[in-house]
């Protein structure tokens, strides 16, 4: 039986979707890597009773540790530390030394800002942030808010609670200290090595893999398998104890056997990883000409640090004039075949190669919608072309998912075409 | 007392962060607009007991309705319908008519695909998807999976559960039918009109607004206020019953009084909305030259349907050659001042205007990191310039948040500079 944890993400702005939650998934992954099983992530608004209810629920599922994020700021709606303290029967008291350290940080930050700050207001915020539940460990601030490890109180069957700030950078910076806490280590003493392996397939329907898994069912005992279809990629993630490694290997072998080159990754690498590695290792460069995706492919290719070594740049050619002016698509090709056509996609790819002096050029032109579709060229039709020194690949899928879905999936298709061109050549 | 609902998002891929949850926030917002208060969104993996525990917890908080997303697919890990049925003491039974309708949909979809599908496997998946808890209403599939409204059973104090599919497009397509269900309407009979108003400020520290709210505290009773700082924007969202509208008006007045033009939105419009409206209503066009953001600004400007009316296009100028070749930044300017400099940002903005024949040009060049920083030009330094017919604005903030943070915040700063140029002119 491995150690278990629950996560509580606080913040009305997260609950109502104004901010998307980066902390729950990040914490779940960190805990998984540390051999801790996570059963629940609960998102609650900035309401004390709701937070206390969520703590009660997780304690009732017998988790060994609870981790919270958010609600440690200077404003009155930031109430996590006080609620967790009360829940552990450990009322909060001022920590004057901590208050001094926070005040110094706030002062340093204010000096970099032009905003005139009322010193009394700042002091009130700092004093609030320096209140610590009795007996809690303080995790030193990585922003202005300190984190906490608040022990359970004898009597209640409450696990310790790690209280972390909401800004992802602060939370992530504080995590190593949290995991080094003696209280946390004691709580997670039972952690077991749990492996996670990932297969990624391109173009395979989820129903097909479902059939494969049904066929193999007798040999899957103890493997926790989840499949997920996303932007045309099918991801098969399996979690298992180390003792089942051979069983997992048989599963992987069976899937690779059945689906062949549709399995593009068996080591959890993404198509982004693979494309970056192929370009970098061969010393090739890439450039893009994007119409309907309007820079999203270039933005994704450059997410990676160091990508300037292989990304030359790109053209966002939303208007027909831009297609001509930036990457030299002949006006008559656009007039004859339409802006959304194989001919224009090829000219965009070749134009990107030529004008940006790159080895590989990618052209994307499509109808993202919601308007602009016709019977012949419906919304979702996207012409893509990848051109390299040794060949050209063109595709024209009809993609679904609304405007943003069509754009995101076009980027995914383009990355896979680049991968296919590089792996085939 | 208004109607309350709880949301359960299922899927190990969501719990572990491999897929980010779009459904929880979307459902919370829909319910809010319908006058329903949401206290919790719980993310659970594909484990029957965890899902049942989450249902128990929400029932214990006396919600009037539970909405689930995910777990309705053809694979064995898709178990939501069966678990909810069991929880409501309504065992699932095959619905032959529904099975036929799903089979027709699957056949139509298969015909569009090149993948050879084992008919027996498809039939097994379809049969699984057509099992319906006794007495449940069926919501017709928008993809292949039907949704359900599963009534509580007399005896348990269980609210009805609306069971929706995981793909956001399918879920959203099915929502109107769910809200039209007689069972749902009965459960939410107590819904009250709850207003939500949003103020957005640019460049104001959270501590400042915290001080303002503390000062106004006596007149804030009954207003549920949350503040959130994101990419340099401070968002103040207030929820309140209609009877407190005047109290909210006083709050808004006080904030606008104190912060002046830093308050760029009082009607929940975003900077994207404002920029799009300003460009469209004045018949102006825009073009971009992006180095460190590499297309993300162009991608964001074109998120909106119809944006081709004002977005001409852009250049992604990751390499110095691209800066010269695509938008004519003189090589000697780059050599003299460095690629990250005010001079290059201005040349990028002017080059975008000129080469893409646009009214407004935006230039962005910066050091996104993690490498490439120096004492003089640290990681996070970004030079931005917005040039229009009547003027030019340049800025050079040092932004935090790591590589992706610097890139995202650069886009936000650029949008605000465009807004300032257009509003000032």
Q: Are strands A147-150 and B233-241 parallel, antiparallel or unpaired?
A: unpaired
The confidence score (pLDDT) of residue A217 equals: 87
The predicted-structure confidence for B242-273, as pLDDT tens digits, reads as follows: 899 999 999 999 999 999 999 999 998 999 99
Quick check: A308 pLDDT over 90? yes
Residue B15 forms contact with A (CB below 8 Å): yes
Which letter does DSSP use for residue B219 in this model? Answer: G
How far does the CA of residue A13 sit from the closest CA of chain B (Å)?
Answer: 7
Nearest to A159 by CA among A137, A141, A186, A135: A186
Sign of CA dihedral B272, B278, B283, B286: negative
The pLDDT tens digits for B402-417 are: 899 899 999 999 999 9
Amino acid B112: pLDDT: 58
pLDDT at position B190 over 70: yes
pLDDT at B111 over 70: no
Interface residue B54 vs chain A (CB under 8 A): yes
Nearest to B238 by CA among B269, B204, B228: B228
Length of chain B counted residue by residue:
425
Residue A71 sits at the chain B interface (C-beta within 8 Å): no
Cα B263 from chain centroid (whole Å): 22
Please tell me the distance from the alpha carbon of residue A150 to that of residue A87, in angstroms, as a whole number: 10
- What pLDDT, on the 0 to 100 scale, is given for residue B113? 55
Q: Considering only alpha carbons, which residue of chain B is nearest residue A211? A: B121
Does B370 sit behind a cis peptide bond, omega within 30 degrees of 0 on the bond before it?
A: yes
Contacts (Cβ under 8 Å, ≥6 apart) of B124: A210, A211, A214, B74
Contacts of B26 (CB under 8 A, 6+ apart): A17, B168, B171, B172
Angle of the A245-259 helix axis to the A206-215 helix axis, nearest 10: 130
CA dihedral A82, A83, A85, A91 (to 10 degrees): 60
pLDDT at A114: 53
Residues in chain B with CB shorter than 8 Å from the CB of A12 are 224, 226, 237
Closest chain B C-alpha to A358 CA, distance in angstroms: 10
The DSSP string of B57-84 is HHHHTT-SEEEEE---SSSTT--HHHHH
Q: Of A318, A339, A317, which is closest to residue A326 (Cα–Cα)?
A: A317
Decide: helix, strand or coil at residue B348. Answer: helix
Q: Does residue A1 carry a pLDDT above 70?
A: no
Residue A112 pLDDT: 58
pLDDT, position A39: 92
Structure confidence at residue B159 (pLDDT): 95
Sorting pLDDT into bands at 50, 70 and 90, what band is B2? Answer: confident
Nearest-angstrom CA–CA distance, B383 and A72: 33
Residues of chain B with CATH 3.30.70.2860: 194-265
Closest CA to B43 of B62, B32, B61, B57: B57
Query: What residues in A contact B314, CB-CB < 8 Å?
Result: 294-295, 315-316, 318
Kindly determine whether residue B294 and residue A311, on different chains, have CB atoms separated by under 8 Å: yes
Q: Tell me A114's DSSP state.
A: -
In Å, how far is A319's CA from the nearest CA of chain B? 5
Of A39, A54, A357, the CB nearest to B45: A39
Number of Cα atoms under 13 Å in the Cβ half of residue A392: 15
| Higher local confidence (pLDDT), A114 or A6 | A6
pLDDT, tens digit (0-9, with 9 covering 90-100), for B302-338: 999 999 999 999 999 999 999 999 999 999 999 999 9
pLDDT over 60 (residue B51): yes
- The verdict on B299 touching A (C-beta cutoff 8 Å) is yes
Euclidean distance between CA atoms A217 and A399, whole angstroms: 33
Of chain B residues 345-374, which have a CB less than 8 A from chain A? 355-357, 368-371
Query: Around Cβ A337, how many Cβ atoms within 10 Å?
Result: 15
Contact B299 A303 (CB under 8 A): no
Percentage of chain B with pLDDT > 90?
72
Residue A32: its pLDDT value, please? Answer: 86
- The distance of Cα A55 from the centroid of its chain, to the nearest Å, equals 26
Asked if A106 contacts A144 with a C-beta cutoff of 8 angstroms, the reply is: yes
- Give the largest Cα separation in chain A, rounded: 81
Which residue from B43, B45, B318 is facing A313, i.e. has the nearest CB? B318
Cβ of B38 and A17 within 8 Å? no
**CA B325, CA A355: separation in Å to the nearest integer?**
7
| pLDDT for residue B117 | 62
Backbone angles phi, psi at A195, to 5 degrees: -95, 155
Q: At residue B35, does pLDDT exceed 90?
A: no
Question: In this predicted structure, what is the pLDDT of residue B193?
Answer: 75
| Residue B47: both structure tokens together | 């484990």
Reply yes or no on whether the pLDDT at B96 is more than 80. Answer: yes
Q: Is the pLDDT at B1 greater than 70, yes or no?
A: no
Distance between start and end Cα atoms, chain A: 49
For residues A59 and B422, give the distance between their C-alpha atoms in angstroms, rounded to a whole number: 54
- List the beta bridge partners of residue B237: B198, B226
Residue B173 in contact with partner chain A when CB distance is under 8 A: no
CA B302 to each of CA A249, A293, A369, A398, B97: distance values in angstroms, whole numbers, following the listed order: 45, 8, 11, 20, 43
The rounded mean pLDDT for chain A is 91
Q: Which of A205-209, B154-158, B419-423 has the highest mean pLDDT?
A: B419-423
CATH architecture for the domain at B271-424: Alpha-Beta Complex (3.90)
Instruction: Select the residue of A40, A73, A211 nearest B121 (Cβ to Cβ).
Output: A211
Task: State the pairing for strand pair A161-164/A311-316.
Answer: unpaired
pLDDT-derived band of residue A343, with 50, 70 and 90 as boundaries? very high
- Cβ–Cβ below 8 Å for B315 and A313: yes
B316–A306 CB contact, under 8 Å? no
Torsion angle, alpha carbons of B344, B348, B349, B351, to 10: 130
Query: Which of B35-44, B225-234, B275-284 has the highest mean predicted lDDT (pLDDT)?
Result: B275-284
Q: How far is A312 from chain B (nearest CA, A)?
A: 5
B366 pLDDT band, cuts 50/70/90, is very high
* Predicted local confidence at residue B61, as pLDDT: 92
**Rounded CA gap, B86 and B136, in Å?**
12
**Nearest by CB: A74 against B206, B357, B403:** B206
pLDDT digits (tens, 9 = 90+) for A287-297: 999 999 999 99
Across the interface, whether the CB atoms of B322 and A299 are under 8 A apart is answered no
CATH number (3.40.470.10, 3.30.70.2860, 3.40.50.20, 1.20.1260.10) of B194-265 reads 3.30.70.2860
Q: Are B210 and A74 within 8 A, CB to CB?
A: yes
User: Residue B314 is encoded by which pair of tokens?
Assistant: 């852009």
How far is Cα A252 from Cα A267, in angstroms, rounded to an integer?
Answer: 11
The predicted pLDDT at position A135 comes to: 93
Summarize pLDDT for A87-144 with one digit per residue, the tens: 999 999 999 999 999 988 887 776 655 555 677 777 888 888 899 999 999 999 988 8
**CATH number for the domain formed by residue range(s) A4-187:** 3.40.980.10
All CATH 3.40.980.10 domain ranges of chain A, comma separated, are: 4-187
H-helix segments, B61-157? 80-87, 96-111, 119-129
pLDDT score of B86? 94
Nearest residue in A to B268, CA atom: A18
Give the number of C-alpha atoms closer than 13 A to the C-alpha of residue B87, restricted to the C-beta side: 28
Give the pair of three-digit tokens for residue A46. Answer: 């900035």
Express each pLDDT in A68-94 by its tens digit: 999 998 777 789 999 999 999 999 999
Contact B169 A400 (CB under 8 A): yes
What the block records as the tokens of A115 is 């905003």
Which of A414-418, B16-20, B254-258, B361-365 is predicted with the least confidence, judged by mean pLDDT?
Answer: B16-20
Chain B contact present for A218, CB below 8 A: no
Per the model's pLDDT, the better-predicted residue between A117 and A382 turns out to be A382
Report the mean per-residue pLDDT for chain B. 91
CATH 3.90.950.20 domain range(s) in chain B: 271-424
Give the mutation candidate from B28, B144, B196, B226 for the A interface (greatest A CB count, under 10 A): B226
pTM beyond 0.95: no
């Amino acid at each position: 039986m491995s150690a278990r944890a629950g996560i509580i993400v606080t913040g009305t702005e997260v609950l109502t979707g104004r901010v998307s939650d980066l902390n729950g998934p990040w914490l779940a992954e960190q805990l998984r890597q540390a051999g801790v099983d996570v059963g629940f992530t609960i998102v609650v608004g900035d309401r004390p009773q709701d937070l206390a209810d969520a703590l009660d629920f997780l304690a009732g599922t017998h988790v060994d540790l609870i981790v919270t994020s958010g609600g440690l700021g200077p404003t009155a709606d930031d109430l996590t530390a006080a609620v967790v303290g009360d829940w552990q029967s450990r009322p909060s008291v001022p920590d004057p030394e901590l208050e001094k350290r926070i005040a110094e940080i706030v002062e340093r930050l204010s000096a970099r800002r032009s905003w005139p700050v009322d010193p009394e207001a700042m002091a009130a915020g700092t004093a609030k942030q320096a209140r610590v539940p009795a007996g809690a460990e303080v995790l030193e601030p990585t922003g202005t808010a300190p984190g906490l490890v608040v022990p359970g109180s004898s009597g209640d069957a409450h696990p310790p609670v790690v209280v972390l700030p909401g800004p992802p950078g602060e939370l992530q910076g504080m995590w190593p200290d949290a995991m080094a806490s003696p209280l946390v280590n004691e709580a997670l003493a039972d952690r077991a090595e749990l492996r996670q392996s990932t297969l990624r397939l391109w173009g395979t329907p989820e129903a097909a893999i479902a059939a494969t898994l049904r066929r193999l069912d007798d040999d899957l005992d103890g493997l926790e398998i989840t499949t997920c279809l996303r932007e045309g990629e099918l991801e098969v993630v399996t979690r298992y104890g180390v003792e089942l490694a051979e069983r997992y290997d048989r599963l992987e072998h069976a899937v690779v056997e059945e689906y062949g080159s549709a399995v593009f990754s068996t080591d959890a690498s993404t198509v982004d990883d693979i494309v970056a590695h192929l370009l970098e290792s061969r010393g090739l460069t890439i450039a893009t000409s994007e119409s309907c995706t309007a820079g999203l492919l270039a933005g994704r290719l450059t997410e990676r640090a160091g990508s300037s070594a292989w990304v030359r740049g790109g053209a966002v050619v939303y208007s027909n004039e831009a297609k001509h002016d930036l990457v030299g698509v002949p006006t008559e090709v656009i007039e004859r075949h339409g802006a959304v056509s194989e001919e224009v996609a090829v000219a965009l790819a070749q134009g990107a190669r030529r004008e940006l002096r790159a080895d590989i050029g990618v052209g994307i032109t499509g109808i993202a919608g919601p308007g602009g579709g016709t019977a012949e060229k419906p919304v979702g039709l996207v012409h893509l072309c990848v051109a390299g020194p040794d060949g050209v690949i063109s595709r024209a899928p009809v993609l679904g998912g609304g405007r943003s879905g069509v754009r995101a999936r076009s980027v995914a298709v383009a990355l896979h075409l680049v991968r296919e061109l590089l792996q085939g050549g």
